[in-house]
A and B are shown apart, each in its own frame.
Chain A
Amino acid sequence: MSYNDDVPSPEELAEDYRSSLEDLSVNSRWEITNLTVIAKENIHAAQAISKVIEEHIQKTSPLRKLPALYLLDSIAKNVGTPYTLFFGRNLYRTFMDAYSLVEGPVRRKLEEMLQTWKQPVPGSTSSNPLFPADTTRKIDNALIKARTAAVQQQQKQMKQDNARFGIGQQSGPAAAAAANPGPYRSTPTPPTNGHGQTGPYNPPPPQNFDGRVEQPGNKATPQPSAPQDAPSIQGAQHPNYQQLAAQLGLTAPNLLANIPTTDALLNDIRPLISTTQARFAENPWDTEIQKRLKALLDLQTILSTQQLPTDQLSQIRDQLSRIAISVHVPAQPPAQAHQIPTLQPAPPPSLNIGQGPNLASLLSQYSNNQAPIVNNTRNQAQSNITASIPSGAKNLFESLVSAGLLKTNQTPPSSSGTKPNTPLNAGYYQSGLTKTPTPSAISTTSGFTVHWETLGVELNSASLKTPRPNFVSILNESLPNKCGSCARRFTNNEQGKKDKAAHLDWHFRVHQRIADSSKHAQFRSWYVGEEEWIKFREDEDDSNAAIPGQSNQGTDLDTSAQEGSRQNYIPAPNDAALSNLTCPVCKEKFNTVWHTDAEDWVLMDAIQSGSRIYHASCFAEISKESTGVASRGSTPDTSISKGKRKADQDLASIISKIKKEK
């Protein structure tokens, strides 16, 4: 990172900062600290940097919003003004935009963070909260309202549970949205938006909260009802999203039939508040009770000061009845524990995808510790032997016999009494000790020795019925060396270790590619025809990525790929701001075309050096010039050619990625 270059302009700094932010994909303390330090050192560019961060939070994919917000938090707490001022201006929008698009667990983290914003920074001398109270209160109010709506939604869902499938078939989400009188907003699902255009839908379009004030349900309180947006990105994938949306539309009229009055609600609230206060006195540290009490008090204020539309009143009533239940039945988990999961019908993406640089260490940790656990000691011994005698299975077998390790296959105590096992084991020993094992007698695929011919199981219904617990070890220990990340198994011998190392590398590469791929639109590939399929080999996923001719499919692609890299093109940047990019040398635009081999939009005749993109020919010109002159600015020539090589490598990785996923 070039932040310690001699005083770059705020714009340049911001640009650098933006590209660093792109890499912030996981919650990495190191990266966040680093970015915080940069922000601190460049306090003169605070306005530009905070703007870049806000934009990043708004634009980045939901999976990356949390680390970005943590960065905001970290800068606010560690650097303070002027960043807090800049962030504070748009804090409501920054926070709520992100909140409305992320998953339940992330939301909880955001809520936690929000709580800390109301406190003074720990260790600081000032007693002022981090952000002004009215800013955070605004967010708080929006969240409370959102939660109320979410509970409501859950109840409707429960009512409609039986009718769900029938209804869903009839009306799409659009119809549901039209029929929906409440504050529910059926967010257009991103894939729908994507139909007509070639670009990806990442990042999600910014939400226009102001526009929503006009919606009937929101007249009184202009805060957005964020969690209805919860299903947006993920929910779009959800099979029953439309059903869900349909329900919302169809059930709303029912609610209006039974309108509670403000006074009645206030009457309901009062006893609840007193009960909750009593419980809060008993458990002052219970944050759930604390939150609920606060929500109730806020609700009371809202009800007594404002005239709310009827549908909101009935929402509040439902919410109250829920709270009433959980208050009076202490055994039941707090209402909020239920709310959060219902906000997001879509499955949270599995966390291992986002592990970042930690993945490698995680993997190696697994690889060290994760020999099958059942018979740990035995495997240890076995692997020692395997390591010392890496020759054929025959040697291994004999050494196992002499070491008395052949018991491995024997029946565990639990079933030693069962009848069929006795002859089996006898035969097993005999064959093992008396005759030289032929290849057919031993599974040669691994260090674990199984005498298949002596296994007394036959393909007939009676024989299959007999439980044989010793088979479990055949299943699990033929290949004892397990990948911690995907449970793929390897042998314990040298080859297996090599394969596994390659496999872990593969995981690492794929992880990186997954991180990269979120920037581009992805699509399903065509299937292959019969002939190609017959020739296709599902090759080792972990065979060396860039090796050409990995499959027959690769051959054509490979040559064209190499030609392609000679032709110099780079993947088109996805950022809209960069789409009108011009070459810094000739000031002309780039030619964006669909490249069939790379299967991506590319800029033709372009190469990238550092953060700049040049026409390949223009770049050749200037790098020629700069070889004559010893160096150009702070960038010596070597780094230019490095940059060029890097561009080629990027291309190669695209090609190999495409190939490998086939």
Chain B
Amino acid sequence: MALPGLDVTDSIDSSTILTRDLKPNQEFRFEVPATSSITIRLTAGTAGTAELFGTELSKGLPYTFTCCKSAIYTWTGCSLSIEGAPSVEYIAEETPMATYLNLHIALEKLRVAASDCPPTTEGAQGPRILLIGPPDVGKTTVAKILTGYSIRQGRKPMVINLDTAGEGVLTVPGTISAASFGSVMDVEDGFGSSPMSAPSAIPVKLPLVYYYGFETAESGSRRYKRLISRMAVAVNSRLEEDIESKNTGLIIDTPSFDNQTNGDVISHIVAEFSITTIAILGSERLYNTMLKSFPPSSSSPINVIKLPTSGGCVDRDAPYKKSIRDAAVKKYFFGDAKCTLSPYTVSIEFDSPTFSLWEVVDSLSSSAERQKNISFLPIGEDESSLSADEEVVKRLAPGDVDSRFENMVVAVLQVDAKDAGAKEVGESAVMGFLFVQEVDEKERRMKVLSPVPGRVPAKALLVGRWPEGMFLT
């Protein structure tokens, strides 16, 4: 039967298809602006394999990319066909992939050793690696590669994202999250997606999420550390029960730690997660600082290693990062091209007994205030004892809710509205996020976008300063 268009498609498309043949150990780097998209296929007949940040491409399947700066690497040589016009594309010959692979194998060696220990012993604990470095050196990329490689070998890594400034892992920006990766990652979509009502061709991952609400670790460093401690408890408990995850260990991505002021946060992470390896990217100085802080001679030695930065790392300018963050929030509510989600508009009454809205407190500004009072303290009562009582979140009276919260993200916490105190709210995990569309001060209610149909659960709500306001729709 004559079905039109079936036989002519290829000849039409071929006008826009580029073919790139990669030799072994080469990398095809490309950038796609937000305004267009490209489709890449690993040519079906090619002999080689290819991977995008550690996750393998399937032969012949189309992968679509938009608004990204990415790279496809091949160990074996391969042929790619690219449909559409990337704004930048070139083939790179020098990559640090060999080093990353060495790192993976070294970690894998430790995992094998851990698997052989009885599950309850200390030895069964797999390697726990912390990735630190200045901005735009590829920390998240290395985390992704290590995750992809260990999944490829049948492992189940626990991936922890502590970077609140970036786009978030499986959730929105401004959060820290942990998730076990027991199935392949999505080539097109970073770390993938959290559960939805819709089925997904790439298995979703279930994250444990805490909302921090600031861009940098300094702004609320006390709460940041408390959330990390809280998460570490949950992660460690889970690893104790899940031997596969325990043997595989942790892969931890961090915000940009590039100077001395973050030293105590780093030590805190290292202590809470019992880090065994610290990998520093892109900063010799930080590397040496870490060597001094964690000397090899100490009782429980920590491997401090230096990793080369890929030449493909590019400085991402602020508008680009902002657009990536906005896209992450949008994806949370509306899904992506593969699966469209329909969020619901819900109204929240300020006078409802279950209304409990909290705001994060900027410790930098509040400590400045405290400076004024500090001279009245008795000698010996230092800042730390004082700050123990300092609240990291404060409750907002209905009258305090105004339009400055419009277009912001609000976290729905796991803690119930009725028994929420500052301590619970400060440390609670997150159930999900709302997006404030409109605050009606007169009517004392606000209109929010809720991901799940029905009433917003009677939980405490927490609003932060980050991610900054955006236009979602």
- Listed in ascending order, the chain A residues whose CB lies under 8 Å from chain B are 27, 29, 32-33, 36, 70, 73-74, 77-78, 105, 108-110, 112-113, 115-116, 122, 157, 161, 164-166, 169, 172-173, 189-192, 194-196, 198, 200-202, 233-234, 236-240, 242-244, 288, 333-334, 337-338, 340-342, 344-353, 366, 370, 372-374, 438-440, 443, 445-446, 452-453, 455, 457-461, 463-469, 471-472, 474-476, 478-479, 482-489, 491, 507, 510-511, 513-514, 517, 520-530, 533-541, 594, 596, 599-600, 657-658, 660-662
B339 to A, closest residue via Cβ: A522
Q: Are B56 and A482 neighbours in the complex by a CB distance under 8 Å?
A: yes
Q: When chains A and B are docked, how far (Å) is the Cα of A190 from the Cα of B199? A: 21
Question: Within 8 Å of chain A (Cβ to Cβ): is B441?
Answer: no
Q: Are A196 and B345 neighbours in the complex by a CB distance under 8 Å?
A: yes
Q: Are A523 and B149 neighbours in the complex by a CB distance under 8 Å?
A: no
B110 to A, closest residue via Cβ: A459
Q: Are A661 and B5 neighbours in the complex by a CB distance under 8 Å?
A: no
Q: Are A189 and B473 neighbours in the complex by a CB distance under 8 Å?
A: yes
Which residues of chain A are near B108, meaning CB under 8 Å? 452, 474
Q: When chains A and B are docked, how far (Å) is the Cα of A74 from the Cα of B4? A: 9
B84 to A, closest residue via Cβ: A341
Partner of B206, one of A237, A347, A533: A533
Q: Are A661 and B195 neighbours in the complex by a CB distance under 8 Å?
A: yes
Question: Within 8 Å of chain A (Cβ to Cβ): is B116?
Answer: yes
Q: When chains A and B are docked, how far (Å) is the Cα of A284 from the Cα of B437? A: 57
Q: Are A474 and B105 neighbours in the complex by a CB distance under 8 Å?
A: yes
Query: Using a CB-CB cutoff of 8 Å, which residues 297-349 of chain B contact chain A?
Result: 303, 305-308, 319-320, 322-324, 326-327, 330-345
Given A445-B153, A488-B184, A534-B241, A468 contacting B201 (CB threshold 8 A): no
Which residues of chain A are near B1, meaning CB under 8 Å? 29, 32-33, 36, 74, 78
Question: Within 8 Å of chain A (Cβ to Cβ): is B421?
Answer: no
Which residues of chain A are near B412, meaning CB under 8 Å? 526
Q: Are B338 and A538 neighbours in the complex by a CB distance under 8 Å?
A: no
Question: Within 8 Å of chain A (Cβ to Cβ): is B138?
Answer: no
Given A464-B99, A476-B49, A662-B195, A172 contacting B238 (CB threshold 8 A): no
Which residues of chain A are near B200, meaning CB under 8 Å? 510, 514, 661
Q: Are B303 and A459 neighbours in the complex by a CB distance under 8 Å?
A: yes
How many residue pairs between the two chains, A and B, have CB atoms under 8 Å in the bound complex? Answer: 388
Question: How many Å from the CB of A344 to the closest CB on chain B?
Answer: 8
**Could you pull out 18 A-B pairs where Cβ atoms are within 8 angstroms?**
A29-B1, A77-B2, A108-B12, A202-B340, A341-B84, A346-B337, A348-B37, A351-B62, A440-B113, A465-B99, A487-B58, A523-B343, A525-B194, A534-B238, A596-B454, A599-B197, A600-B197, A662-B204
Question: How many Å from the CB of A275 to the closest CB on chain B?
Answer: 20
- Which segment of B358-366, B367-375, B445-453 sits at the interface? B445-453
Which residues of chain A are near B154, meaning CB under 8 Å? 445-446, 478-479, 489, 491
Closest 10 CB pairs of A and B: A165-B319, A522-B198, A239-B327, A347-B64, A240-B34, A487-B56, A524-B451, A109-B5, A347-B37, A513-B199
B34 to A, closest residue via Cβ: A240
Which residues of chain B are near A240, meaning CB under 8 Å? 34-35, 67, 323
Given A198-B344, A527-B194, A527-B432, A112 contacting B85 (CB threshold 8 A): no
Q: When chains A and B are docked, how far (Å) is the Cα of A524 from the Cα of B107? A: 35
Q: When chains A and B are docked, how far (Å) is the Cα of A603 from the Cα of B100? A: 55
Q: Digit string of B1-27 for contact with A (CB within 8 Å is 1, else 0)?
A: 111111011001101100000000000
Other than A112-B8, A534-B237, give 6 A-B pairs with Cβ distance below 8 A.
A108-B13, A237-B331, A352-B62, A487-B58, A522-B335, A526-B452
Question: How many Å from the CB of A7 to the closest CB on chain B?
Answer: 26
Which residues of chain B are near A196, meaning CB under 8 Å? 345
Which residues of chain B are near A239, meaning CB under 8 Å? 34, 67, 323-324, 326-327, 330
Which residues of chain B are near A533, meaning CB under 8 Å? 206, 208, 234, 238, 429
Q: When chains A and B are docked, how far (Å) is the Cα of A232 from the Cα of B255? A: 36
Question: How many Å from the CB of B155 to the closest CB on chain A?
Answer: 9
Partner of B48, one of A340, A374, A662: A374
Given A455-B105, A487-B58, A194 contacting B342 (CB threshold 8 A): yes
Given A113-B5, A195-B344, A475-B149, A464 contacting B307 (CB threshold 8 A): yes
Question: How many Å from the CB of A346 to the closest CB on chain B?
Answer: 6
Partner of A657, one of B76, B105, B184, B199: B199
Question: How many Å from the CB of B233 to the closest CB on chain A?
Answer: 8
Q: Are B3 and A74 neighbours in the complex by a CB distance under 8 Å?
A: yes
A165 to B, closest residue via Cβ: B319
Which residues of chain A are near B339, meaning CB under 8 Å? 514, 517, 522
Which residues of chain A are near B326, meaning CB under 8 Å? 239
Which residues of chain B are near A29, meaning CB under 8 Å? 1, 3
Given A70-B3, A522-B340, A352 contacting B85 (CB threshold 8 A): no
Q: When chains A and B are docked, how far (Å) is the Cα of A163 from the Cα of B430? A: 37
Which residues of chain A are near B76, meaning CB under 8 Å? 373-374, 472
Query: Using a CB-CB cutoff of 8 Å, which residues 225-247 of chain B contact chain A?
Result: 230, 234, 237-238, 241-242
Q: When chains A and B are docked, how far (Å) is the Cα of A479 from the Cα of B101? A: 16
Which residues of chain B are near A112, meaning CB under 8 Å? 4-5, 8, 12
Question: How many Å from the CB of B128 to the closest CB on chain A?
Answer: 12
Q: Are B197 and A342 neighbours in the complex by a CB distance under 8 Å?
A: no
Given A70-B3, A239-B326, A541 contacting B203 (CB threshold 8 A): yes
Q: Digit string of B185-228 for contact with A (CB within 8 Å is 1, else 0)?
A: 00010000011111111111111110000000000000000000
Which residues of chain B are near A461, meaning CB under 8 Å? 305-306
Q: When chains A and B are docked, how far (Å) is the Cα of A507 from the Cα of B101? A: 30
Given A239-B34, A465-B99, A525 contacting B188 (CB threshold 8 A): no
Given A353-B201, A461-B305, A342 contacting B36 (CB threshold 8 A): yes
Which residues of chain A are near B395, meaning CB under 8 Å? none
Partner of B204, one of A445, A474, A521, A661: A661
Q: Are A485 and B16 neighbours in the complex by a CB distance under 8 Å?
A: no
Q: Are A529 and B429 neighbours in the complex by a CB distance under 8 Å?
A: yes
Q: When chains A and B are docked, how far (Å) is the Cα of A243 from the Cα of B33? A: 13
A600 to B, closest residue via Cβ: B197
Q: Are B109 and A453 neighbours in the complex by a CB distance under 8 Å?
A: yes
Q: Are A440 and B116 neighbours in the complex by a CB distance under 8 Å?
A: yes
B103 to A, closest residue via Cβ: A464
Question: How many Å from the CB of A316 to the closest CB on chain B?
Answer: 23
Q: Are B66 and A345 neighbours in the complex by a CB distance under 8 Å?
A: yes
Q: Are B112 and A443 neighbours in the complex by a CB distance under 8 Å?
A: yes
Q: When chains A and B are docked, how far (Å) is the Cα of A195 from the Cα of B34? A: 25
Which residues of chain B are near A468, meaning CB under 8 Å? 98, 101-102, 105
Q: Are B183 and A541 neighbours in the complex by a CB distance under 8 Å?
A: yes
Partner of B429, one of A108, A169, A522, A530: A530
Question: Within 8 Å of chain A (Cβ to Cβ): is B283?
Answer: no
Q: Are A487 and B184 neighbours in the complex by a CB distance under 8 Å?
A: yes
Q: Are A485 and B344 neighbours in the complex by a CB distance under 8 Å?
A: no
Partner of B333, one of A110, A122, A471, A524: A524
Question: How many Å from the CB of B307 to the closest CB on chain A?
Answer: 7
Which residues of chain B are near A440, meaning CB under 8 Å? 112-113, 116
Given A195-B345, A459-B305, A484-B58, A347 contacting B103 (CB threshold 8 A): no
Question: How many Å from the CB of B114 to the closest CB on chain A?
Answer: 10
Which residues of chain B are near A660, meaning CB under 8 Å? 199
Which residues of chain B are near A522, meaning CB under 8 Å? 196-198, 335, 339-342
Given A198-B344, A240-B67, A459-B106, A345 contacting B201 (CB threshold 8 A): no
